Structure formats: structure tokens, C-alpha cells
Amino acid sequence: MATPTLKLNPPFRAEHIGSLKRPSKLLQKRKEFDSGKCSIEELRQVEDEAIRAIVDLQRQVGIKGITDGEFRRCAQLPLFTSAQLDSARARKRHMFYDGVFDNLEGMKHVKPVPPEMLMDYVPDVAAFKEHDFKGADTHICVSKLKRTKPFYVPQFEALKALTKPEWFHLRHGEYAYPKDVYKNDDEYFADIALAYQAELQDLYAAGCRNIQIDDPLLAYFCADSMIRGMEARGIDHAALLDTYIKAYNACLKGRPADMNVGLHLCRGNFRNGLYFSEGGYDRIAIKLFREINVDCYYLEYDTPRAGTFEPLKHLPPHKAVVLGLISTKFPRLEDVDDLVQRICVSPQCGFASHSEGNLVDEHAMREKLALVVRTAKAIWGDI
């Protein structure tokens, strides 16, 4: 077996996490579409204009890993019938996990979600209940899972971020799939893995060489609140983490050698800067860095809630890490000299994991992206 080697360019010295602040014109047009006041073609036109502008902005500030800002999320709609359009409008998809489970045969859209189907020990579930958020939707497995169409290939004109394979499993626990469909987690994740393997091959064929997987759930294992909640319900959190690591490796099995795969551990990026989990990476560092077969990690380090850099000692020499030291949650600009002393660089998360985004306007977002590039150049001379 060949010795693993470090992959760089990508990841680049100056990176970002994918989602960018959506312009008000796009948000307004999406509201019109949701209420039936404009056609999908009219929405597409505004999306295309916004994507061209955000790609140009990234080039202007010096970012090399270009994305479309996730501007098509909320409306990843092909040519639907009127009934299908009505269904899509009813869902009003705006979540960062759009694309995979909503396109898998065997998944069912559920709205509203019965409270008993949400596991209280999951940090974002607890936060949503505390803030009394209403009307959230989800997807659950109701029959054998099968990929019958691409997830992201139609959107691949710039690099796209894949969704994590264990998202609904952790949130819904025993309700994630019926036991007459899958006898156990291994069977469930085996079919999900087949879908991911096919998607990665299709993305590669379309020219994609850099995959970024956005995963908040692995960071939840850093949170004492979730660990206590699981233990109170008799759940073996160490065994569950092992299950998810095994699922990741199955999903990535057989990927082309020159395809870079990065894993972003998000700590929550709901509107107006709300986060969900605290705690250093210490508890999961060895398994995270040494057992998951990815090439690099995007780690949030913008506040003390992420702990120290000590866990990075477990990072193997053939893997890279991008440290998210620049906050996307608030407009205050960090000091470049301070960032240089701490090593960097990327924003700690996306600027708009949800449609509304954080308390950062488009000008501040541009300045933040430019700061990422300036900081990288200050450290390495180039990005």
C-alpha cells in the first residue's frame, strides 16, 4: 500500500467554507417564488446574476477555491410539474444539508416534525426548543435508500460542499429508519455509502477535484451537554462515533486518488450568529484525525469555545488543517498581526448556512474574505 502524502492546493493557504452572504435581491425573489408570485425561470435568472457577482468578488479578493456561495440552495429545482413546484414551495428548503437526503429515494419529507422524533441531547435540537423555533422540517427513511439521480452534479459549475452522511441519524435516533427496512445501522449506512460513492464518481467525471463536507454533528461529540444526555438515555456515544467514522470511510471508499476531500466541523451557524456546541476537540481528536479517511480538516477556532490547539498534535503528517480564526458571525474585523501569530486561515464557518445569514453585510463579507488572503500572504508570501 502506498504511503499517504500531504495534499495541498487544494486545500489552499487561504480558504473559506462555502456559503456566502445572499444578496437582498435574491432573498426577495425567493420569497416571491415561495408565495407563487414568480416562475422558476425568473428565480433562476436572479440566481445566475448573483452567482456571477459572487464568483467575481472571490476572484477580486484573491480566493482560489471558488464556490457559488450556495446561492441555489432553497431552490435546487429542475423543471417540475405544477404539483411538484407546489410541494417544493411548501418545503421552502433553505438548509445547509440540502441536496443529499431530499434527493434519495426512500426518504420522506416531514413537516412539522413530531417533538418525540427529535433527540433532546443533540445541541441544535436543544437550542431550537429553547428559542421556541417553529415549523422546522426533516427527512426520515421509510424504505430502502437508493440514489436515482445526482445530488450536486447539476450545480457543479464551481466547487460544492457535500452534506454529512449521519445528519438525520443522530437527530432522530431510533426514528431515523424503520426496523423492517434496515435491521441495524450498518445496513442503513451501507446504502447511504453506495449513494455517496456514485455521487463522488459523477462529480469527478464532471471535473471536480475538491470536495468539502460540512459536518456539525462530529463537533457535537465535543459537547459535554450531548455526552451527558446520551449517557442519561443509555446511549454508547463512543460506539456511535465509531459507527459514524465507519460510515464516512465507506462513503469515501474508491474515490479517485487526486480528489481532495476536506471535512469541516461546524459548531452551529444559525441566523444572527447562534451556535450550538462548545468544547475542545480533545475528546475526539485521535479518532477524528487518524481514523477518518479525509485529506484535510476545517476547524473552527474563532472563540475559546473550541478549546486549545493541543489536539492538533494528533494530526498525521500526511493530512492538512485549515484553522477557522476569522469569525463569520459578526462584522468586527480581526487584527491581521494577531492572526499571523496564531496561524490561520479561513473564516470559521460559512457566512450564510441559512438564507437569512449572520449579522454581516455584503461589504463586511468582502472585507473578511480579503483579510483571509492578506493574512495567508503575510504568513506564507502567497496562498
pLDDT attached to residue 130: 62
Name the band, by pLDDT with cuts 50, 70 and 90, for residue 349. Answer: confident
**Among 66-75, 335-344, 352-361, which stretch is predicted with the lowest mean pLDDT?**
335-344
For residues 206 and 203, give the distance between their C-alpha atoms in angstroms, rounded to a whole number: 5
Q: How many CA atoms lie within 13 A of 365 on its CB side?
A: 22
DSSP state of 35: T
Closest to 64 in 3D by CA, of 288, 362, 322:
322
Weakest-pLDDT range from 39-48, 67-76, 142-151: 67-76
- Is 32 domain-assigned? yes
User: What Cα–Cα distance (Å) separates residue 35 from each residue in 39, 70, 254?
Assistant: 10, 21, 43
What residue numbers bound the domain in which 264 lies?
24-380
Is 15 inside a domain boundary? no
Task: Let me know if residue 13 belongs to a domain.
Answer: no
pLDDT digits 0-9 by tens, 301-315: 877 777 888 898 899
Distance CA 79, CA 77 (A): 7
Residue 181 contacts residue 144 (beta carbons within 8 Å): yes
Q: Return the minimum-mean-pLDDT range out of 24-28, 84-88, 144-148.
A: 84-88
In a domain, 5, yes or no: no
In a domain, 8, yes or no: no
pLDDT digits (tens, 9 = 90+) for 259-281: 999 998 887 655 555 556 678 89
Q: Residue 250 belongs to a domain with what CATH number? A: 3.20.20.210
Domain total for the chain? 1
Residue 1 lies in a domain: no
**Can you tell me whether residue 324 is helix, strand or coil?**
strand
How many helices (H) and strands (E) the chain has is answered by: 12, 8
Closest CA to 131 of 268, 329, 304: 268
Q: Please indicate, yes or no, if residue 214 is contained in any of the structural domains.
A: yes
Q: What is the pLDDT of residues 191-200, one digit of tens each?
A: 999 999 999 9
Q: Report yes or no on 317 lying in a domain.
A: yes
